[in-house]
Structure 1
Amino acid sequence: MSKTRIAVAGAGYIGQAHMGVAQASAGCTLSAVVDPSPAAQAVARQAGVPLYPSIEALLASEHRPDGLVLATPNALHVPQALQCLAEGVPVLVEKPIATTVAEGRRLVDAVENSGAAVLIGHHRAHSPIMAKARQVVASGQLGRLVSVMGSALFYKPAGYFADSPWRREPGGGPILLNMIHEVHNLRMLCGDIGAVQAFKSHATRGFAVEDTVAINLRFTNGALGSFMLSDTAACPRSWEQTSQENKAYPSYADEDCYVIAGTDGSLSVPTMRLKTYPRAEDRSWWKPFEVGTVGLVRDDPLQHQMDHFGAVVRGEISPLVSARDGLDNLRVTEAIGEAATTGRVVELA
């Protein structure tokens, strides 16, 4: 059986990551690159595939793909996705789905009215670690969900901001750049989020944008959550530095970034340390827990996502992360930004 032909629009860092997993996929193959920048010529040449300056040119060519990955700037996600929908080409849209909820709603409406195949690139949804953690929560081993404590604490070097000065300005802070990943993880583990409140600070770097945020969450099932976010904290308690999935980051096997607690026990992620009471009738802080570690396999979620996208393109499966999922993640992220700015609790419909 011939492989599913996948083109990638955007030859930057994340676009090249998608190109790599497409080339390594058992069911997909990289067929073309779309990018108007001169630097993209070397990227396409090294990958051994043709380069096109626009999506229009690609779709009109002999290399028209079966599916297209949009790893382009955020502002282009919605118009380019709508363009592909009109041409009947399935798309993987990198997160965030859009720059604003209002814009994202346009794409969601188009997808749901047409039944088009659109996968949103929240790649951690394809993580075997997340799949196992969700399985533990759903199994009832933790009892009724009570709380989640989470963190994304890391230190971005000065060069990160010097190379792209826009990251120092509103729209470039960790709420919009990083928190959307965490929102999706928290929703997968604990359910939908009904309300948020937050404090933000830029006291460390003094940029116009926040560098540290303290967030409270109320889930619709009644559970509560707290989350610390900072890009100026010398701490390894972030997904990248604990999951061991992205080899570009050093990792620390003794650290966690989430602790999920229920009435019968707790699970630390991603170490997967599990502590539960053996009998519900003996639950007490004076009683010892049964202590263990949940077995799992660590693997590259980007590779799993590409294989999944190939199956979506072929019509074998529905998208694991739908356009509406992507919009819901953006809605929560926007609400956190609003809560941090206004000091008010922001309710989510």
Structure 2
Amino acid sequence: MAESTAPSHLGVGIVGGGFMATVHSRAARAARAQLTGIVSSRPERAATAAAELGIARAYDTFDDMLADDGIHVVHITTPNALHAEQALAALEAGKHVVCEKPLATTVADAQRLADAAASADLTATVPFVYRFHPLVREARARFAAGEAGRLLTISGTYLQDWLLDADDDNWRVDGAAGGRSRAFADIGSHLVDLIEFVTGDRVSSVAATKRTFFDARAEHSAITTEDAVAVAVQTASSAIGTLLVSQAAPGRKNRLQMELAGSVESIVFDQEQPETLWVGRRKGSLLIPRDADQLAPDAARLVMTPAGHPQGYQDAFNAFVADTYAAIAGAEPDGLPRFADGLRAAVVMDAVIDSAESGGWVDIAS
């Protein structure tokens, strides 16, 4: 374990004043950090967010935040196109960074950030927070121990309905703000990260097709980013599978589900039902509860409430931020998603969109 260089009281700065800023602030508070300051698109917006979230100070500019020695870690929750510039500036200012995904809108920018974080010897993480559901860690432990056997097939979906109608709109539909991919970069990246994290296997090639159901919405026209994408995948170990990602699936609010068939067991995790893990066998299938007494050690450590008392998304986010802050203090938490993982997501996203546009299989660089 590295010697700690973190201050005894970690000062947190948040960039952005929307929904994700609220989630990050709750997690920082749960980890007993100091919510030192916030900056947003306009000074008055920052002042409003500071009052709403109980943050000590609103900065007029991002540079003002970076100049404050009381800020030790910067949480970036702004639109995607701003991530690379802001994260790089924070690293160059000597700040640790938590940057929302996608880490960057291009592979080149994601590579620059991963290299900068490594050379600066700073903690820089990306919120692939579904890794922090206890039963995801239980699934990972079963694959790592060989209990599931050799990975054979993958079936994964990530379905939402918040952009179902033409009147539904958001800055993410605009390629200039969100990047060349929307649905896959936004939520498909979580699905691939989770599959690779649990199985220890990597997607090696993809064949994709995508659809934009509405080329015009309430405030945007000439939309090119996708509402849905379907992907056939092959992995480095020769497993095969399918992924379906959509932000226009009626009734599905945040349905991330993966079914991983090994040669001995199938394992199913559903993020909308995170209290149980289904383990399928030819004989004697199991339904494992989120009960620390029944889980592998790395899963049990993430159990925050007794079995039967539901634990969900904010708890997973809190655990991710707590592990990030532990890493800043010199610990080495297992499974912490860092900028290298954000780079990996950018590489996979590029391959998926390249495949959808070319109509053929695309190999993914390791």
Establish whether TM, by shorter chain, passes 0.5.
yes
Q: Are the equivalent residues in 2 in contact too, given 1:166–1:172 (CA < 8 A)? A: no
Indicate how the Cα distance of structure 1 residues 141 and 213 shifts in structure 2: closer, same or farther if over 3 A, else same.
same
- Deviations 1:324-349 (Å, cap 9, x if unpaired)? 11101111011111111111100012
Aligned to 2:87, which of 81, 92, 104?
Answer: 81
- In 1: Cα distance, 2:165 partner to 2:10 partner: 39
Aligned to 1:178, which of 169, 181, 187?
Answer: 187
Q: Secondary structure at the match of 2:147?
A: coil
Structure 1 unaligned segments of length 5 or more: list them.
243-256, 278-288
- In 1: Cα distance, 2:91 partner to 2:226 partner: 36
- In 2: Cα distance, 1:117 partner to 1:225 partner: 34
- In 2: Cα distance, 1:48 partner to 1:337 partner: 39
- In 1: Cα distance, 2:83 partner to 2:356 partner: 26
Aligned to 1:102, which of 92, 108, 123?
Answer: 108
Report what 2:308 is aligned to: none
Report what 1:211 is aligned to: 227
Paired residue type of 2:279: L
Q: Are the equivalent residues in 1 in contact too, given 2:158–2:255 (CA < 8 A)? A: no
Q: Does 1:52 align with 2:62?
A: no
Root mean square deviation, CA, Å: 2.4
Report what 2:332 is aligned to: 317
Provide the identity percentage: 25
Q: Does 1:114 align with 2:123?
A: no
Q: CA deviation at 1:155?
A: 1.7
Report what 2:279 is aligned to: 274
Report what 1:260 is aligned to: 260
- In 2: Cα distance, 1:321 partner to 1:160 partner: 35
Q: CA deviation at 1:60?
A: 2.5
Report what 2:352 is aligned to: 336
Report what 1:247 is aligned to: none
Q: Does 1:197 align with 2:207?
A: yes
Structure 2 unaligned segments of length 5 or more: list them.
1-6, 217-223, 271-275, 291-302, 304-310
Q: Are the equivalent residues in 2 in contact too, given 1:198–1:214 (CA < 8 A)? A: yes
Count the aligned residue pairs.
319
Q: Are the equivalent residues in 1 in contact too, given 2:46–2:59 (CA < 8 A)? A: no
Report what 1:31 is aligned to: 36
Aligned to 2:323, which of 308, 315, 332?
Answer: 308
- In 2: Cα distance, 1:163 partner to 1:232 partner: 12
- Deviations 1:23-73 (Å, cap 9, x if unpaired)? 232x32311112242222111023141001223212333x62121111122
User: Which deviates more, 332-341 or 305-314?
Assistant: 305-314
Scaled by the length of structure 2, the TM-score of the pair is 0.80
Report what 2:300 is aligned to: none
- In 1: Cα distance, 2:331 partner to 2:171 partner: 43
- In 1: Cα distance, 2:55 partner to 2:107 partner: 38
- In 2: Cα distance, 1:100 partner to 1:161 partner: 29
- In 2: Cα distance, 1:98 partner to 1:133 partner: 29
- Deviations 1:148-183 (Å, cap 9, x if unpaired)? 101112322457864436616673631222211112
- In 2: Cα distance, 1:66 partner to 1:165 partner: 29
Report what 2:297 is aligned to: none
